[in-house]
Structure 1
C-alpha cells in the first residue's frame, strides 16, 4: 500500500530588484560612514524608483537613507553647536 504523492509544483523565484537592494544597503551603511553612503542611497533609490515597476524596496531605501542622513546632520549640528554656544556663553559672561 505504497501511495505516491503527486509531484509538488516548481518553486517560483521572485525577481529581486538589485539596484533597489543596493540603495537600501547604502542607506543602512550610512549609519557607519557618517551619512556619506546614505546620500548615495538617496540618489540610487530615486533613480531606481523611476525605472522599476515595483517601487516598494526603492521607497524603503529612500526613506531609510533620508532618516540616516537627517540623524547624522542633526548629530553634526549638535556636535558643533554645543561647544560654540558654550564658548559664546563664556565670552559673554566675562
Structure 2
C-alpha cells in the first residue's frame, strides 16, 4: 500500500511515476506477482503518474538516468576535491653552505686580481668537506670554486714564471752587451 503524496506536490524520485504495489501475498506463485490472467486493481492512493522533472542543467557526464537520485532535485554534487583552505607550501629546502658561496665569489674575483683565486680554491675544499659532513647544498659551487681557483692560480704562477724569465733574460743580455 502506498501513502498519499506529501503536501506541496513533492513526489518520491525513486519511483519516477511508477505506482507502488501492495505487499506480496504468500498464496501467489513464486515470483510474488499475480497470474497474468487476473486483473490487478488500481491503487486509489497512488500519486498520479507524471514525467520526471528535468534538471535545469545537465550533469557533466551526460543526461540524468531513470535511477539517478539527483535528477528530481535538479542538483548534482560537486566533482573532485575542494581546494585547500590554506596555500600549499613546498617542502623546506636544505640550506646552502655559505663557505661554498664565498669560495666561488673569491675564485671568480681572481680573474681581476689573481691573489684571491688560490684563497677561493682552498675555501672550496673546506666547503666541500663541510657539505659532506652536514648535508647542506652547494657542492657544485664548491667544486666550481676549486676548479676555477686552481686554474687561475696555475695561470698566475705560469705568468709570474714567464715574467721572471723575461727579467732574467733582460738582465743577462744587458750585462753581456756592456763588455
- Please indicate, yes or no, whether the TM-score normalized by the shorter chain is above 0.5: yes
> Residue 111 of structure 2: SS of its match in structure 1?
coil
Task: Pick from 128, 132, 151 the counterpart of residue 67 of structure 1.
Answer: 151
Higher percent of residues as helix: 1
Task: Pick from 101, 123, 136 the counterpart of residue 44 of structure 1.
Answer: 123
Larger Rg: 2
Equivalent position of 2:12 in the other structure:
none
Moved over 6 A (4+): none
What is the alpha-carbon distance in structure 2 between the residues aligned to residue 56 and residue 29 of structure 1? Answer: 18
Larger RCO (CA within 8 A; separation ≥ 6):
1
Deviations, residues 39-82 of structure 1 (Å, cap 9, x unaligned)? 21122111111111452221111010001111111111112211
When the two structures are superposed, what TM-score results if normalisation uses the length of structure 2? Answer: 0.41
Equivalent position of 1:31 in the other structure:
111
For structure 2, list consecutive stretches of 5 or more residues without a partner in the other structure: 1-82
Matches within 5 A, 1:1-94: 10=89, 15-33=95-113, 35-53=114-132, 54=137, 55-92=139-176, 94=179
Taking only aligned residues, the RMSD between alpha carbons, in angstroms, comes to: 2.5
Aligned in 2, Cα 1:16/1:89: closer, same or farther, shift over 3 Å?
same
